[in-house]
Structure 1
């Protein structure tokens, strides 16, 4: 059976994401793995390392057991929920666990509720959204799980053949029995020749899913805000984004749309690479 990994630091936002992940696993009949990655902050460099590591490990074991018990109760024991504690740098360790487990998806809190949580765990989330090759769902601090019947796909209609994970999109839509909405807020006009060609190509590639296309007017010259507002106003429960890699020179001038959507969306955002 496929597994959903919930990566947690036991903060309020991460615990809320864990509750979402548990209900998601229950709805899709997947197993759930609670993963805590024990990292040693630089600020503790002057503390005897063995003593500090022992304290952190004991705390982690206690907190992960409490979370496991809470999620088992929350799902009334309907799914298998296991735990794992690893030590190391966050992204490298998460990648290693994913390579072993091959998860259906990874779930994380999109941002913390305190300044320190936003800085540390929020930074991990944005980096993972951009670089983790497994599907990753980020859950806003106040988001609650509800049946996913409407899925939005944020698409810029650029180089569709090379940048669109068609099999992943198809699997997700079919697993949820959901309606797919293709959302574009940055190409300028639905009558742009390139947009017409690429959108027609995508519609053909997604044949059988009957996607609905939306060209969102950007009145405030802020396509990310326009997209977030559309998702909220049209009751879309899950927003798919397709992070793209940029060369160093491009990245200096390129605004990270993925980051803006993760930090500002009121609904969970899922990255597919």
Structure 2
């Protein structure tokens, strides 16, 4: 059975992403491991904090009680979605969230990490530098960042953003393995501000490498890179955007577009980070 690691802080964005994790688990026959990470209280020296815990057991008990009171929210969501049959276990760890998430994903051999993110709010919030973005950069497994407010949809169309570099064919193979689970079509797309005279040759080579696969290849030359990507997502009814962690600027653009654009997607779609 596959494993999905679901880091949660029990925020609205995180609880919304749990719905996505449940549906994903159902489709790939996976169990879910939820992980809540808490940090040391600000101002307490580590040695002193450990001494207090060892001798008086204060601090941690309060965290544990809070954790126990939040976990039923996840069970309620599973019942609402009629997915009580999905195996779910819970972990509580102390440490730095990014480090603990990446370490736990490795030790538990998680196939996919699913996380919630606030995404675009029209407020200049930066996706780069958030816990989700850092996990995507450091984890060895696939990471799916689910924007707050996104309602789960079956994965039928995957957008793979690329620069048609040779090394990226290996990443496309990984994306294809993911898409094949859902029998989903893949749109491979490069959006560039400057025209590329050799792009036709590059695309031909990629087509030859994926002849029998359900994949289409496109290149669009435009100055409005992020707008075009979002329009492409809307027009083709894309369910998830996959990309290499190499394209950090695209992550930022996808998560920071203005809500005033009145796109069909009032929020961005989930992003699948593929480890190089």
SS across alignment from 1:14: helix
Task: Tell me the SS of whatever aligns to 2:59.
Answer: helix
Is 1:192 equivalent to 2:197 in the alignment?
yes
* Pairs within 5 Å for 1:183-262: 183-186=189-192, 188-189=194-195, 192-193=197-198, 195-218=199-222, 221-244=223-246, 256-262=249-255
CA distance in 2, matches of 1:182, 1:223: 15
Q: Does 1:94 align with 2:101?
A: yes
**Quick one: distance in 1 between partners of 2:20 and 2:206?**
31
C-alpha deviation, 1:108, in angstroms: 0.6
TM-score, normalised to structure 2, is 0.81
TM-score of the pair, normalised by structure 1: 0.82
Task: Please tell me whether the aligned partners of residues 119 and 256 of structure 2 are also in contact (alpha carbons under 8 angstroms).
Answer: no
Q: For residue 263 of structure 1, report the CA deviation from its aligned partner.
A: 4.4
Aligned partners of 2:128 and 2:168: how far apart in 1? 31
CA distance in 2, matches of 1:210, 1:176: 12
The residue matched to 2:192 in structure 1 has which SS? coil
Secondary structure of 2:167's counterpart equals: helix
Change (3 A) 1:183 1:121: closer
Q: Is the 8 A contact 1:155 1:183 kept in 2?
A: yes
Gaps of 5+ in 2: 258-266
Count how many residue pairs are aligned between Structure 1 and Structure 2: 256
Contact 1:126 1:259 in 2 (8 A): no
Answer yes or no: is the 8 Å Cα contact 2:126–2:256 preserved in 1. no
CA distance in 1, matches of 2:231, 2:41: 37
Q: Contact 1:143/1:266 (CA < 8 Å) preserved in 2? A: yes
SS at match of 1:185: strand
Deviation at 1:145, TM superposition (A): 1.0
SS in 2 for 1:169: helix
**Deviation at residue 122 of structure 1 after TM alignment:** 7.3
**Alpha-carbon distance in structure 1 between the residues aligned to 2:234 and 2:129:** 22
Identify the residue that residue 261 of structure 2 maps to in structure 1: none
Q: Is the 8 A contact 2:128 2:251 kept in 1?
A: no
* 1:167–1:21 distance in 2 versus 1, CA, 3 Å: same
> How far does residue 96 in structure 1 lie from its aligned partner after superposition?
1.3
Q: Which residue of 1 aligns with 2:269?
A: 267
Aligned partners of 1:259 and 1:140: how far apart in 2?
Answer: 13
More helix by share: 1
CA distance in 2: counterparts of 1:111 and 1:27, whole angstroms: 25
In structure 1, C-alpha distance between the alignment counterparts of 2:90 and 2:30, rounded to whole Å: 15
Shift of the 263–104 alpha-carbon distance from structure 1 to 2, 3 Å rule, reads farther
Q: Which residues of structure 1 form unaligned runs of 5+? A: 246-254
Relative to structure 1, the CA distance from residue 162 to residue 22 in structure 2 (aligned partners, 3 Å threshold; closer, same or farther) is closer
Partner of 1:145: 152
Counterpart in the other structure of 1:61: 68
Superposed CA offset, 1:190-245 (max 9, x none): x621x223322322333321311222342xx2312321221123210011011128
Q: Residues 24, 232 of structure 1: CA spacing in aligned structure 2 closer, same or farther, 3 A cutoff?
A: same
Check conservation: 1:36, 1:64, Cα contact below 8 A: no
Aligned residue among 110, 124, 127 for 2:134: 127
Q: CA deviation at 1:261?
A: 2.2
Residue 119 of structure 1: how far off its partner (Å): 7.7
Q: CA 1:121 to 1:167, structure 2 compared with 1: closer, same or farther past 3 Å?
A: closer
Residues 166 and 198 (structure 1 numbering): CA distance in 2 closer, same or farther, change over 3 Å? Answer: same
